[in-house]
Structure 1
Amino acid sequence: MKIYYVYILKCFDGSYYTGVTNCLERRFAEHTWGINVTCYTYTRRPVELVFSCEFKYINDAIAFEKQVKGWSRKKKEAIIRGKWNELKPLAECQNQTHSRNNNADEN
């Protein structure tokens, strides 16, 4: 049975790259060697593998990759640190005009 991986690389410039693969070692090597000159990581090497997560089904891996790509830097750093419990608070709107944060109704 194949295993699929969603992974996050930390690039030399401090940015993060999220991808999906069925062979983590090979894909990391490709990023490291700069196999594809059009890849985001090509000009941001060296890269460091900072997170990976296994999936049994490719559709689940692709869905999670898309989700992570849409996350803020803080949410990505939370899962890199293994702090999955921090995701919900980081997803909540912190804008002062948000109804939960707006105390105008109390006056």
Structure 2
Amino acid sequence: MHHVYVIECSDGTYYTGYTTDVQRRVAEHNAGDGAKYTRGRTPVTLRHTESFDSKPEAMRREYRIKQLSRAQKEALF
């Protein structure tokens, strides 16, 4: 399975990403091994996930979520 996730950083901002293992990826973000954006914003909290059968499908959804406003992202969860 392929997943798109939204995490909330300690500063209240949101980060959207793609992974095949959500729990591992969130742990990486919290350990400082995730995206450069989240390294100084730990701890992070998982707010939303969506699962897809294919990577291209998940990547398209990740892009669409990244285009949403903050209020639209919050409406997802």
1:33 to 31, 46, 52: 31
- Opposite residue 65 of structure 1, the aligned amino acid is E
Aligned positions, number: 77
Give matches, 1:71-90, under 5 Å. Answer: 71-80=68-77
The 4+ residue runs of structure 1 with deviation greater than 4 A are: none
Gaps of 5+ in 2: none
Q: CA offset at residue 47 of structure 1?
A: 0.4
1:65 to 43, 62, 65: 62
Partner of 1:100 in structure 2? none
Partner of 1:43 in structure 2? 40
TM-score after normalising by structure 2: 0.95
Percent identity, please: 40
**Structure ranking higher in strand proportion:** 2
TM-score after normalising by structure 1: 0.69
Aligned-residue Cα RMSD (Å) equals 1.0
